[in-house]
Structures are given as C-alpha cells and as structure tokens.
Amino acid sequence: MIVILDSNILALLVASIDEKLSEDEKLAKESYHCTEWFYRLLSKGAYVTSSDLCDYEIRRELIRIKSKSVQELDKLRDLIDFHQVTFAVLEKAAELWAEARDMSQSNKVKENIDIDCILAAQWCLLKEEYPARQVIIATKNIKDFQRVTECSIWQEITYL
C-alpha cells in the first residue's frame, strides 16, 4: 500500500509539538490520533509519502506564525519521501485541472484546486508506476480528490 499524505494530514502530524497549534483541545486530540495512525502505518510496512508542494503549503504557514513545528516537518522528511513537482507531474495536473473545469456546471473551479490537481497528478503517476499496489491519498477532505483518485479520510485507512 502507498499512502500519500495531503497537506492537512501533514499539519496534524506537526501540530502537537507546538503550543500555539495545540491550544485547541479538539485539534490536539486529532493530532495525537493522527500521529498514532501514521506510526502504525509505518510499522506495518506501508510506503507513506507526500509532495514537496504539501510541505510548502504547511511550511509557509509555520514560518508565518513562527512555529517550532517547522523542525517537526523537517523530521518528517527523514521518515518519508516527498515527491518533487516535475514537468510530468505538472503536465498531468494541467489535464486534471482542465477536466475539472470542463465538468464544473458553473464553469468555475475553486481557486485553490491547483495544489489538489498536482497531488492528484502525483497519485496518477504513482498508480501507473506501481499498478499492482493500492495507492491512496489520505486527507481530511475527500471531495477535492474523489473524482479522479482513490482517497479516503485518514482514519478510515488501515494497513494489515
């Protein structure tokens, strides 16, 4: 199984270390459970990965709020691979974006769909590279991905 972490999952994985981010009790609990889930996946041999673009999305906010969690994000880079945004990824993302725009009834695509399309493109390319393996995006918001990828709410992903 290959599990691709969306930005919102990376945020949960680094949130517990920072007092500013963990002041919200609900967020702190979710962060704790997400971290447990993440290490359980790793211990069972799942290939867990993310995108450099997801790192960027989280890192820029952590820097803005002067969070100590930047170091936790750096530590994650030692545990999992972060895929680069290559031209092949951008080509596939452009196709996905165009399809999403064509399928939209109002012909308006939400403004922040670019990063979702790039992550979906990375999913597509991993799926092509590893056709015999399940490739799934772990997220908190499946509506951004469910049309073109296999995705699930992170709590629902288990690896036996």
What sign does the CA torsion over 86, 130, 113, 41 have? Answer: negative
The domain spanning residue 63 has which CATH number? 3.40.50.1010
Q: How many domains are contained in the chain?
A: 1
Domain of residue 93, residue span: 2-156
Quote the pLDDT of residue 99.
82
Question: 7-15 and 70-79 are packed helices; what angle lies between their axes, rounded to 10 degrees?
Answer: 110
3-state helix, strand, coil in the chain (%, to 5): 60, 10, 30
| 3-state secondary structure (DSSP) of residue 23 | coil
- Least confident piece of the model among 14-18, 64-68, 85-89, 118-122: 14-18
Question: Distance between the two ends of the chain, CA-based, in angstroms?
Answer: 10
- Least confident piece of the model among 17-26, 71-80, 108-117: 17-26
The pLDDT mean for the chain works out to 85
| 3-state secondary structure (DSSP) of residue 75 | helix
Angle made by CA atoms 10, 39, 114, in degrees to the nearest 5: 25
Q: Which amino acid is at 102?
A: D
Per-residue pLDDT, averaged over 121-136, amounts to 93
